[in-house]
Amino acid sequence: MIEYIKGNLTDLTPTCAVIEAAGVGYAINIALPSYSAMVGKEHVETKLYVTEIIREDTHDLFGFFTRGERELFLMLMTVSGIGANTARMIMSAYSASEIRQIIATGNARALSQVKGLGPKTAQRIIVDLKDKVLKIDLESQEQGTKSQDGLLLSVEVDNEVKQEAVSALTMLGFAAAASGKAVDKILKEDPTASVEKVIKIALKML
């Protein structure tokens, strides 16, 4: 099992990071918190804790900025009906500390706002993980991060924000047309919203 990959961050989108290590470029699936931590750090040495998801037709890597985030991701996947993509969706809609608090306090309503999670699944997550989730050590980001909501881009790059947000939402399984409408609405209300903020809001609209 690969514990982590450390190398030069050569490419970054809200759903994927490419890290070159020993001449090999690893495409690693990420959630928004990890993206936020790496924005502006392209071509800088970066370390992601990874987990491998191996199936008959795919071999995917999912990466996280801290061990605690990875542990939470794997814990979510132990719940019946929660696969890797759904777990990543949850971790993109809320920060790791928010997810831990939501589950610990039994807030099924907040969980069910995530696309693909109905009330029954949200309740199942709470029942299965409520006694376990507080044991996760969500250590501070080792490599230094910026607040998701604090990463504001200028109005001049609104179109770039829209394209990145729509692309990320499409990668997460949403229809491009519906994603575009949601992103347009969000940017109309908040023209300076960051890519991360737009995606987080859109995940609760779609």
- pLDDT confidence of residue 187: 86
- pLDDT confidence of residue 4: 94
Report the pLDDT averaged over residues 55-80: 91
Report the pLDDT averaged over residues 132-158: 53
- pLDDT confidence of residue 21: 94
21: CB partners within 8 A, 6+ apart: 5, 6, 7, 8
Instruction: Read off the amino acid at residue 179.
Output: S
- pLDDT confidence of residue 178: 82
- pLDDT confidence of residue 116: 76
Considering the domain boundaries, does residue 141 fall inside one? no
**Residue that is last in its domain, among 32, 49, 64:** 64
Write out the two tokens for 17: 């990071």
- pLDDT confidence of residue 6: 95
**Residue that is last in its domain, among 135, 165, 195:** 135
Considering the domain boundaries, does residue 190 fall inside one? yes
**Residue that is last in its domain, among 64, 90, 115:** 64
Higher pLDDT, 147 or 121: 121
pTM of this prediction? 0.73
Report the pLDDT averaged over residues 48-74: 91
Please report which confidence band the pLDDT of residue 163 belongs to, taking 50, 70 and 90 as the band edges.
confident
Instruction: Read off the amino acid at residue 63.
Output: G
159 shares its domain with 195: yes
**Which helix (H) or strand (E) covers residue 4, if one does?**
strand 4-12
Residue 79 is classified by DSSP as S
For 12-36, the pLDDT digits (tens) are: 998 999 999 999 999 999 998 888 8
Structural domains counted in the chain: 3
Considering the domain boundaries, does residue 143 fall inside one? no
What is the span of the domain harbouring residue 198? 155-203
57 shares its domain with 71: no
Q: What is the mean pLDDT of the chain?
A: 84
Write out the two tokens for 155: 């109005």
162 shares its domain with 199: yes
Q: Smallest Cα–Cα separation from 102: which of 123, 81, 77?
A: 123
- pLDDT confidence of residue 36: 84
CATH of the domain at 38: 2.40.50.140
Q: How far apart are CA 34 and CA 63, in angstroms?
A: 8
Considering the domain boundaries, does residue 180 fall inside one? yes
- pLDDT confidence of residue 151: 35
CATH of the domain at 116: 1.10.150.20
Distances (CA, A) of 150 to 19, 82, 97, 145, 146: 25, 30, 17, 11, 7
73 shares its domain with 126: yes
Tokens 């809320």 sit on residue: 94
Q: Residue 146: phi, psi to the nearest 5?
A: -115, 145
- pLDDT confidence of residue 143: 46
Considering the domain boundaries, does residue 49 fall inside one? yes
Q: Smallest Cα–Cα separation from 7: which of 52, 60, 44, 49?
A: 44
